[in-house]
């Protein structure tokens, strides 16, 4: 339940200064959150460019490495995300995020000390648990920094941090592997995150809930069961979450295995793979996230269903470029086709999170984001990389190094299926957003 903003004399000392959150302060907070998301993706994705040397050093199979980058990380990331988001909805989102950053950064550094596959898996699970703290709290904060008409663009800017993180993760990972090896690489990228955690705790604004919309909640977050039943009752939310998971299956599967694909099929060196794929994935992904969000913001003013039609269109346009990337014999042609693939496969994220925040009640926003991330990461990050690893081992006796080509092509089925759910969600979007807005005005 929400009510109109109370007068200053009825506000607590902690809340009162938060009412004076300026646009400059909100923009600073957004920039800091971009840095957090970049650190998140550096620590998460450095493993992609290091898969081959780790596999050789620890004597693991492709199935095991796919499990490590996919299912093992995703299960604990998603399961931890729900209770952590519950804490964020009930307490300081800034503190929740700072603790999580410190924990995942320390576990990233510890990953380099692993002597067995099991030890490395435990460390990466720790990274997943820590990273579960970031995005739900960030989305909830962004919703209070920026009003609905500016929110998709703000979330799109936040999502550029993922592209920047992939860029620096692959660049640093490939270079550090050739210079000092994969063990030191984990420490080099992990430890700076401790400074980011301190910066977040000391300087990130914690606005009052409903700040950007002139609403004030009663301060009591609904239980997990109530939140699940409410969101599950919205057809838009059900289709939106499923679409995100299917789009994510293609995006994360490709992100995890593209470096290994370029190593095996096109025989590029580690540093070259890190440089070229880092630039393509990082820059194209950041541009796609930002301009996809801007386009959604503009077209949604005419018809809010564009928030779902644009991701569907991106999923359709992605397919031919994806096929060229996987089947091209010339590595330069493959990299050229990889540019539009990465522009398009991130377009779904900003409008997905914006709609999620619009559908959720004030004290459900971190939890709603965590639920979407649960589906996105369990299906996308969990199944995508793991399925590719399993298929690689199954097809390798027949196709050799080209087995990864056939495996990657399977991911197109997932993104095509996601298009269907985006279109279904568009049919009920207006009604469900109005229902959510009316509930918060009561």
Residue 387 CB coordination number (10 Å): 19
User: Domain range for residue 202?
Assistant: 10-214+221-441
| DSSP states along 322-379 | HHHHHH-SSHHHHHHHHHHHHHHTTTTHHHHHHHHHHHS-GGGHHHHHHHHHHHIIII
Task: Say what the pLDDT of residue 243 is.
Answer: 95
Higher pLDDT, 235 or 20: 235
Higher pLDDT, 84 or 424: 424
* Residue 133 pLDDT > 50: yes
Q: Give the C-alpha distances (Å, rounded to integers) separating 268 from 15, 397, 406.
A: 55, 22, 19
Q: Total structural domains in the chain? A: 1
Read off the DSSP letter of residue 211.
Answer: G
Which domain CATH number covers 92? 1.20.1250.20
CA distance 221 to 371: 15
Element (H, E) at 221: none
Query: Does residue 4 fall inside a structural domain?
Result: no
Tokens for 357, please give them: 């925040």
Place of tokens 């109005």: 434
Name the pLDDT band for 213 (thresholds 50, 70, 90).
low
Query: Does residue 246 fall inside a structural domain?
Result: yes
Q: Give the C-alpha distances (Å, rounded to integers) separating 58 from 88, 116, 120, 188.
A: 38, 6, 9, 20
Query: Does residue 365 fall inside a structural domain?
Result: yes
Q: What is the pLDDT of residues 307-337, one digit of tens each?
A: 999 999 999 999 999 999 999 999 999 999 9
Task: Say what the pLDDT of residue 425 is.
Answer: 96
* Residue 294 pLDDT > 50: yes
Name the pLDDT band for 212 (thresholds 50, 70, 90).
low
Query: Does residue 2 fall inside a structural domain?
Result: no
Query: Does residue 182 fall inside a structural domain?
Result: yes
Q: SS3 sequence, 282-323?
A: HHHHHHHHHHHHHHHHHHHCCCCCHHHHHHHHHHHHHHHHHH
The pTM assigned to this predicted structure is 0.73
CA distance 40 to 42: 6
CA distance 260 to 285: 19
**For residue 413, how many C-alpha atoms fall within 13 Å in the half-sphere facing its CB?**
8
**Quick check: 135 and 334 in contact, CB under 8 A?**
no
Query: Does residue 3 fall inside a structural domain?
Result: no
Element (H, E) at 227: helix 224-232
- Return mean pLDDT, the chain: 84
**Quick check: 285 and 346 in contact, CB under 8 A?**
yes
Task: Say what the pLDDT of residue 7 is.
Answer: 39
């Amino acid at each position: 339940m929400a009510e109109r903003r109370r007068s200053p004399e009825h506000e607590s000392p902690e809340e009162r200064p938060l009412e004076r959150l300026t646009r400059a302060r909100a923009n600073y907070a957004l920039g800091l959150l971009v840095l957090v998301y970049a650190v998140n993706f550096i620590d998460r994705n450095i493993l992609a460019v290091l898969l081959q040397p780790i596999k050789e050093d620890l004597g693991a199979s492709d199935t095991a490495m796919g499990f490590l980058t996919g299912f093992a990380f995703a299960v604990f990331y998603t399961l931890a995300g729900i209770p952590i988001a519950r804490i964020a909805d009930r307490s300081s989102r800034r503190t929740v995020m700072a603790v999580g950053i410190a924990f995942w950064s320390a576990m990233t550094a510890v990953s380099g000390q692993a002597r067995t596959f099991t030890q490395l898996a435990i460390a990466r699970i720790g990274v997943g648990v820590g990273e579960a703290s970031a995005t739900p709290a960030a989305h909830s904060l962004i919703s209070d920094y920026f009003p609905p008409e500016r929110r998709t663009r703000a979330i799109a800017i936040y999502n550029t941090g993922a592209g920047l993180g992939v860029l620096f993760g692959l660049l640093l990972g490939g270079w550090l592997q050739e210079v000092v090896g994969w063990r030191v690489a984990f420490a080099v990228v992990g430890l700076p995150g401790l400074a980011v955690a301190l910066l977040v705790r000391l300087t990130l604004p914690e606005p009052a809930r409903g700040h950007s919309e002139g609403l004030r909640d009663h301060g009591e977050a609904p239980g997990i069961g109530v939140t699940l039943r409410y969101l599950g009752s919205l057809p838009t939310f059900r289709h939106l979450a499923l679409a995100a998971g299917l789009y994510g299956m293609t995006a994360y599967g490709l992100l995890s295995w593209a470096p290994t694909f370029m190593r095996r099929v096109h025989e590029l060196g580690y540093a070259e793979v890190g440089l070229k794929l880092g630039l393509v994935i990082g820059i194209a992904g950041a541009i796609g996230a930002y301009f996809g969000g801007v386009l959604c913001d503009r077209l949604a003013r005419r018809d809010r269903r564009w928030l779902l039609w644009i991701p569907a269109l991106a999923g359709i346009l992605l397919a031919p470029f994806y096929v060229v990337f996987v089947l091209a014999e010339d590595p330069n042609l493959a990299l050229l086709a990889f540019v539009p693939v990465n522009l398009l496969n991130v377009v779904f994220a900003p409008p997905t999170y914006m709609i999620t925040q619009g559908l959720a009640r004030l004290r459900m926003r971190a939890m709603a984001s965590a639920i979407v991330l649960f589906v996105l990461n369990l299906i996308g990050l969990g199944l995508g990389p793991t399925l590719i690893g399993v298929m690689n081992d199954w097809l390798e006796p027949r196709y050799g190094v080209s087995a990864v080509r056939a495996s990657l092509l399977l991911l197109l089925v997932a993104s095509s299926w996601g298009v269907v759910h985006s279109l279904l969600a568009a049919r009920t979007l207006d009604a469900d957003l109005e229902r959510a807005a009316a509930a918060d005005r009561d």
